[in-house]
Amino acid sequence: MNREEALQLVEEHVVAPGLRKHMLCVEAAMKDYARRLNGDPEVWGLAGLLHDYDWELHPTLEQHPRDGAALLRDRGCPEEVVTSILAHNTEGTGIERTTAMDFALLACDEVTGLISATALVRPSKDLREVPLKSVRKRWKERSFAAGVDRDHVEAVTEDFSRECYDGELDLWTHVGHVLESLKAIAADLELDGRLGVA
C-alpha cells in the first residue's frame, strides 16, 4: 500500500473533515519522528494517516481499530502498520506497543488536537504563527480542547521517551516537534490564514 492508496481508503470511509485533518496531522508528526528515529517516513506516515480510518464505522473503543484491521490487510497495508494501529488502543485490541513506531503513534495522536485548537482560536487562524508558549498556555486551561486528556498525553509521552529516547524527551520538546511538523502542512489543514479575520 502506498500513500495514494491509503488516501483513497480514507476518502472512502471518513466523512468528517475534522477527522480527516486529524489523521493528516498524525501522519505529519509520524513522518517527522521516523526521520528522527531512523524509521521509514512512508511506513510511519501510513500508520498516522490510517490510524483512525475506521472510527466512523466502529465508533467505540471496543471495536476501533480492531474491527477495521481486516480491511487494512485486504488492501495491502503492511503488517507492521496494522500492528501499530492496533496497539494505539491496547485496551480494545489486546495488542501492546513494542516498536518505536507503536510508541510514537500513541504519543502523537491526541496532542495534535490541542495544537490545532490553539491555531483555531487565533484571529489569523494560521498555524504557522503559533508559538510553543501558546500551546503551553492552552494546556493549562483544562476547559480548552477539553477532549484532549492531558494526563494520557503525559503518560504516553513518558512511555515514548523511555522507550525511544532513554527518558530524555520531555513533554514540551515532544509537543514542539509535533507543532513544527504540523506547521509544514498548514495549507492541507486549512490553517494557513485563509479562515482568519481579514
Q: How many CA atoms, within 13 angstroms, populate the side-chain half-sphere of residue 190?
A: 8
Per-position pLDDT tens, the chain of length 198 = 999 999 999 999 999 999 999 999 999 999 999 999 999 999 999 999 999 999 999 988 889 899 999 999 999 999 999 999 999 999 989 999 999 999 999 999 999 999 999 999 999 999 999 999 999 999 999 999 999 999 999 999 999 999 999 999 999 999 999 999 999 999 999 999 888 765
For the whole model, what pTM was predicted? 0.95
What gap in Å lies between CA 172 and CA 133, rounded to an integer?
9
**Number of residues that this document lists for the chain:** 198
Sequence ranges of the domains in the chain: 3-183
Cis upstream peptide for 65 (omega within 30°): yes
Q: What's phi and psi for 126, nearest 5 deg?
A: -115, 110
CATH 1.10.1610 fits 3-183, yes or no: no
Assess contact for 157 and 149: CB atoms under 8 A.
Answer: no
